[in-house]
Chains A and B, each alone.
Chain A
């Protein structure tokens, strides 16, 4: 299957700083990318959907000014957690959709964010 990478895999930052997480589709062009957040022992919660060249669509309850999403190219989307606080500590996973079929949505390995 297609490969999606995320960088970094782990990041520890101080409260008040901003952190950028990259999501790349390595061998295909992704028209749509998704960002999820997973709390311990909880399901993956969709945060936002981004389409290349347009503004991201955020799910209800997700602060768009807190979680900035940029999808500048068909192979790269970034999530920036601004002014991070300990409650933002979580596991963030991106996925990229190659086509319209649901099994054509490929997930990255995730990024563990810890805010001290």
Chain B
């Protein structure tokens, strides 16, 4: 049962344009969401996160939007740069107590390619 889904395996964008990566989740217990970026032969690195009490979080060129009613989040990169080309994973976790506290559930990843 895939609780976090990234339905687009890949996305191709022109340099300078906006990249929008999408993520859906099914578990209502998730209340904290993160995006990670992964280059080949490297581990994922933290990019940006958002708590369920917010619907938007911005950090430089990266903005994450959360739509709790739709159980959907998206990552916007504006403007996109060739160095942004990587695999992007969204992840979710429940922050409240219980056995799942602190554990990250990942999506399948989306390969972003930004063309010069």
Contact = CB atoms under 8 A, between A and B. Distances in A.
B105 interface: yes
Contacts, number: 62
A44 B36 CA distance: 12
Interface residues on B, range: 20 to 34
A95 B43 contact: yes
Contacts of B46: 1, 102-103, 105-106
Name the interface size band of chain A: 20 to 34
Given A43-B109, A46-B105, A95-B43, A102 B93 contact: yes
Nearest to A10: B41
A93 B103 CA distance: 15
Interface SS of chain A: strand
B32 A44 contact: no
Nearest to A59: B103
Interface of A: 1, 4, 6, 9, 32, 34, 36, 41-46, 49, 93, 95, 97, 100, 102-103, 105-110
A-B interface, 5 closest residue pairs, ranked by CB to CB distance from nearest: A107-B43, A43-B106, A44-B106, A103-B46, A43-B108
